Chain A
Amino acid sequence: MNNSILFAAESSNAALWTFLIYMLAVFSLAAFSNKLLQGKNFLSEYFLGSRGLGVWAFALTFAATSASGGSFTGFPSKIYTHGWVLGLWIGSYIVVPICAMGLLGKRINQVARISSAITVPDILRDRFRSVSFGLIAVSLIVFFMSFNLVAQFKSGSLILKTLVLDVTVFQNASTTVSGWIGGVSFFEGVDAGYLICLLTFGVAVIIYTTYGGFHAVVWTDVMQGIVMVIGVLIMLPLALMLVAKDAPEGTGALQHATEQMVHMVPPEKGTATIQRGAEGDSSVVIRQGDWLTISAESTRLFRVTKEKEISASSASVAEVPVLEIMTPRDIQRVLNDETASIRSDLKIDVESLAMTAYMFGGEEDRNGNGKLDPGEDRNQNGELDHPQKGLYVTGPGPDPNQMNGFLPLSLAFSFFFMWAISGAGQPSSMVRLMAFKDTMTLRRSIFTVAIYYSMIYFPLVIIFCCARILLPGMENEPDRIMPAMAVFLTENVGLGWLAGLLVAAPFAAVMSTVDSFLLMISSSLVRDIYQRNIDPKVKEKTIKMLSYVFTLIVGVGAMLGAVNPPQFLQDIIVYTGSGLAAAFLGPMVFALYWPRSNASGSIGGMLAGFGAHLSMYCGGIVANGSFFQPYRLFNFDPIIVGLVTSFTATYVVTLLTEPPPADLVKKYFYKSQES
């Protein structure tokens, strides 16, 4: 068995207990929150916490909601795959707290109070006295967030599955459920284990969000935020300590890691025919993660990326997906690792190898036939004939699919926009900005989040650069690098029980995002559509019932959508996040800071931003053959095109149309008569 499987099995019970204790805490917070609902304005308390959030609650709910699962699954996976350049990719986080909270925070909170707004569409509708603007905003929020919610449900379920993968109860339940759903067309192709995790995750989030409302979400966010930062702060010294074990005398751990990374060469991916090593008549399972070698003058090392089986009647199995490790030091590390699962009972048919190098950083396809033919990239000794050095310690970073590397200059600029500016344009962030108590809370919270992000993001880059040294060959399943690293680190220092807490960090991140989005969609339906358009005189009792019912329906709907979720998980999250910013940021900035802005200009800007951003993705179908590989105008990300279009359209259309009524401008921009 390889390291991670062995350790995961040993620490599985700890992980399960961590999860159960964690869920107990979440439900306790929901029950307490529900008590707060008594005797207060239900809508304001349920969806906005009565605008009374203090520093810790406001800072941590803001940080945790923004972090999402990507910070603990996708981000570590990217660091592992592309190296130090991820420090630049995440670089704008140096100003994200001050931008995302400070650009709009004080003013949006004030305007929300003036208009008694509870939701983002509420603000836009009342600020411009336009019912249609409110409805357009609601439609866009529901459209984007529904897709995002399905993707987040899938993400949460996958992380939970990693957490309980080796728990016996879970394995038995998976077998039982597999029998139940077999033959039911709706569940065709659905993994039983995933389904169990989806139901557990979904039901838990729906219940505590529905029952506890905004305060439950905020308090669980606080707890989740603490879990996340503790996880990172424990992993950092452990990772450095383990890297330092191999470092020469007088060389620091991180220096040693960087020096090792200089010599790293990206792996190659492809397929191979795998044969039995000896005669036999029983079937042989080749597990994902198994290692195979080809002995030449220097050993070539392959890792299986998908489970296959040599049937009893066959001597071999063809087209097995494999990954070849190209860095000599990594190969030696695996060969020296006694716990690595190197299959001596199997051998690779050298002639069958069809490997592909990274588009940027790999060997050249000198034959020009679109793949690396056997022998094309190697000398007679089987060694790489011209490996590139320093790919993982310089920009733009190696990339398997992009000719220009992972982060060319244009994308580095785009991501500076993406995190800092589009972060300010997320409606889920805006709602939180409407909920803090006073400006002192805002000031202290910006400072708190700045320190909080400093303790999470750059340390994550360091931890997962170290992971490249400690766990070679994880490119076969990079999304599992976080749990694999957590288990590896804790077991190596004899603290296996701690793995449960560390793996809970990404789970907490997804949960804190899902509950917020769930509440945003239901608030849009109850407040913005039902109360403000269908029955303005609705009784509080009915509102209460509708809020519970809509939160429940939206949650169940997203859960059902995630049973057969769309394939491009991370792409959906990126599309919806950047799309919301392209549609909402421009109109909101003008609404808050420009007295001349009017409904026509802001509606025009919102629709233009949405349309321009969407057209880049639709252009991707024509240019790149996929909606999720958008067309990049001048090589910039669609978010830039969307934001520029939205700001320009809002400004131009506003100037071309009638100014807003004077009383409206006085209400939002001038001192009140009383003062």
Chain B
Amino acid sequence: MSSSSLPDREQYDPTFVHSRREAIVIFCSWVVALIWAVPYCYLNGYNVTDPENIKTVFGIPAWLFWGIAAPWIAANLFTTWFCFAYMKDDDLGENPDEPVEIEDSQEEADKQESDQ
């Protein structure tokens, strides 16, 4: 693949561009969740010096409430925003419901194998 034989990046398929951008945002949301939840729970819920007087919120240990339960609500709000405000409606292409042209792709694949 030489760059000269391919069109400009501006010619990228918009569905590909949108889905890649959305995947990056999703991955970042996972990183944020990880960076918050695990260290917070570890720092506040492990090696507790006075467990008999452990703090609770709605009966749930406070370290778990603020580390997981509350972020769960925040994550659901983020998911709602992502699904209904950020994620684009894209054209996924035709539904290839017709019988698949196996012969062509078989020949293509065989050709590729022999080239390699």
User: In the complex, what distance in Å separates the CA atom of A575 from the CA atom of B28?
Assistant: 27
CB-CB nearest in chain A for B26: A102
Which residue of the partner chain, among A88, A659, A670, contacts B41 with CB atoms under 8 Å?
A88
Q: With the chains together, A50 CA to B82 CA distance in Å?
A: 27
Contact between chains at A107 and B72 (CB < 8 Å): no
Whether B33 pairs with A395 at a CB distance below 8 angstroms is no
- Contact status of A94 and B103, CB under 8 A, knowing A51-B95, A394-B45: no
Does B80 lie within 8 Å of A447, measured CB to CB?
yes
Contacts of A540 in B (CB 8 A): 99
Known: A103-B27, A395-B46, A413-B34. A110 touches B93 (CB 8 A): yes
Give, as a whole number of angstroms, the nearest-CB distance from A121 to chain B: 12
Binds B, one of A123-131, A339-347, A612-620: A123-131
B97 to A416, Cβ gap below 8 A? Answer: no
| CB neighbours of A440 from chain B (8 A) | 89
Given A390-B51, A537-B103, A113 and B96 contact (CB-CB distance below 8 Å): yes
Chain B residue nearest to A444 (CB atoms) is B83
- Pair B64/A87 contact, Cβ less than 8 Å: yes
Determine if B67 and A91 form an interchain contact, defined as CB atoms under 8 angstroms apart.
Answer: yes
Picked from B22, B52, B106, the residue with its CB within 8 Å of the CB of A532 is: B106
In contact, A412 and B42 (Cβ under 8 angstroms): yes
CB distance from A632 to the nearest CB of B (A): 17
How far, in whole Å, are A540 and B99 apart by their CA atoms in the complex?
A: 9
Contact between B87 and A439 (Cβ–Cβ < 8 Å)? yes
Interface pair A413/B92, CB less than 8 Å apart: no
Chain B interface size range: 35 or more
Measured in the bound complex, the distance between the Cα atoms of B29 and A365 in whole Å is 45
A662's contact among B2, B87, B116, by CB below 8 Å, is which?
Answer: B2
Known A-B contacts A107-B20, A390-B48, A390-B52; A536 and B64 likewise in contact (beta carbons under 8 Å) = no
Q: Find out whether the CB atom of B106 lies under 8 angstroms from the CB atom of A536.
A: yes
Complex: how many Å from CA A500 to CA B15?
Answer: 47
Which residues of B sit under 8 angstroms from A91, Cβ to Cβ?
A: 33, 37-38, 41, 67-68
Interface residue A438 (Cβ < 8 Å from any Cβ of B): yes
Closest to B88 in A: A439
Q: How large is the interface on A (under 10, 10 to 19, 20 to 34, 35 or more residues)?
A: 35 or more
Q: Are B37 and A416 in contact (CB under 8 A)?
A: yes
- Residue from the list A94, A442, A443 in contact with B68, Cβ < 8 A: A94
Assess the B67–A95 pair: CB atoms within 8 A.
no
Contact: B83 with A443, CB < 8 Å?
A: yes
Q: A110-B19, A129-B108, A669-B12 are in contact. Are A662 and B6 (CB under 8 A)?
A: yes
Q: Is the CB of B38 within 8 A of A532?
A: no
Most buried by A among B12, B61, B88, B116: B61
Contact at A593–B51, with CB atoms within 8 Å? no
For window 44-65 of B, CB contacts with A under 8 Å fall at 45-46, 48, 51-52, 54, 56, 58-61, 63-64
Instruction: Enumerate chain B residues within 8 angstroms of A131, measured Cβ to Cβ.
Output: 109-110, 112-113
Contact B97 A50 (CB under 8 A): yes
Contact residues of B between 7 and 49, Cβ < 8 Å to A: 7, 11-16, 18-20, 22-23, 26-27, 29-30, 33-34, 37-38, 41-42, 45-46, 48
A492 located at the interface, meaning its Cβ lies under 8 Å from any Cβ of chain B in the complex: no
By Cβ-Cβ distance, the 9 closest A-B pairs, closest first, are A390-B51, A254-B59, A659-B1, A255-B59, A94-B75, A107-B19, A129-B112, A116-B96, A395-B46
Give 5 new A-B contacts, CB below 8 A, not counting A98-B82, A670-B7. A88-B38, A450-B80, A666-B6, A669-B16, A670-B11
